[in-house]
Amino acid sequence: MISELAYIHPEAKIGKDVKIGPFAVINKNVIIGDNCIIDSNATICEFTQLGNNCHVFPSAVIGAIPQDLKFRGEVTWTIIGDNCMLREFVTVHRGTASKGKTVIGNNNLIMAYCHVAHDCILHNNIIMSNATQLAGEVEVDDFAIIGGGSLVHQFTHIGGHVMVQGGSKVNKDIPPFAIAAREPIAFCGINSVGLNRRGFTPEQIHTIQEVYRLIYNSGMNTSQALIQVEATVPASPERDMILNFVKSSPRGIIKG
């Protein structure tokens, strides 16, 4: 299960039924959960924790120190949940003093050549397509899909159930359930295909459409539109998710 050609620091904690390929490197202060696969030439750096059933593909580097000149060697972590797949040449950097950790949740697919920078927070069931690059302190919510080759500016927030077109330059927050595309990036409707696949009802999808009609197509500014949404759209988890996201966005949301 563990190649004799792998290097594993004696203080690393390795779970049950873990497979480690030749020339993989597992450093000190690493915790690897049960049933993980660490392929050949992958490197798991110090202060990294992997959950159960994760697969790290060849030449990925997980938990390297951040590319941040403010970093002074403080103890920070990279924390990855269960059932994550980190493909070839993925790089994930640990946190800085800002948040103290970079977090990737459960059931995430990070495709080849992607980069997750320091202090990013990725929630669950996310797909990052090939060569997507997240700058520092980006947050990505559940079920978001980011198309290949996208560049995401630092401190940006990508909402849940979002679909981002490949090759996008994301410099504003993308609210939940949206499709984001074009150049410059803009709101292009709601991710109705993804919502249908995930079991959203026609009534829920209609509510989301009505909220975004007021935000993007009513001719009102964002503040006025939010007041109108609260006054005319019945409260629901979907309505409130959008309202709370937009109200708490320091960068502002993408334009329509």
| pLDDT for res 179 | 98
| pLDDT for res 32 | 98
In this prediction, residues 43-51 reach a mean pLDDT of: 98
User: How confident is the model over 174-224, as pLDDT tens digits?
Assistant: 999 999 999 999 999 999 999 999 999 999 999 999 999 999 999 999 999
Element holding 223 (H helix, E strand): helix 222-232
Cα separation, 77 vs 99, in Å, equals 10
Edge-first strand order for the sheet with 163-164 is 19-20, 37-38, 55-56, 85-86, 109-110, 127-128, 145-146, 163-164, 178-181, 186-190
Nearest by Cα to 91 from 78, 82, 106: 78
Under CATH, to which class is 195-247 assigned? mainly alpha
Cα separation, 174 vs 55, in Å, equals 29
| pLDDT for res 125 | 98
Active site residues: 118-119, 136
| pLDDT for res 203 | 97
- Residue type (1 letter), 136: G
Domain 7-137 superfamily per CATH = Hexapeptide repeat proteins (2.160.10.10)
Q: Does this chain's domain 7-137 share its CATH topology with 195-247?
A: no
Cα separation, 70 vs 103, in Å, equals 20
Contact predicate 114/132, CB 8 Å = yes
What is the residue extent of each domain of the chain? 7-137, 195-247
pTM: 0.96
| pLDDT for res 251 | 93
User: How confident is the model over 132-154, as pLDDT tens digits?
Assistant: 999 999 999 999 999 999 999 99
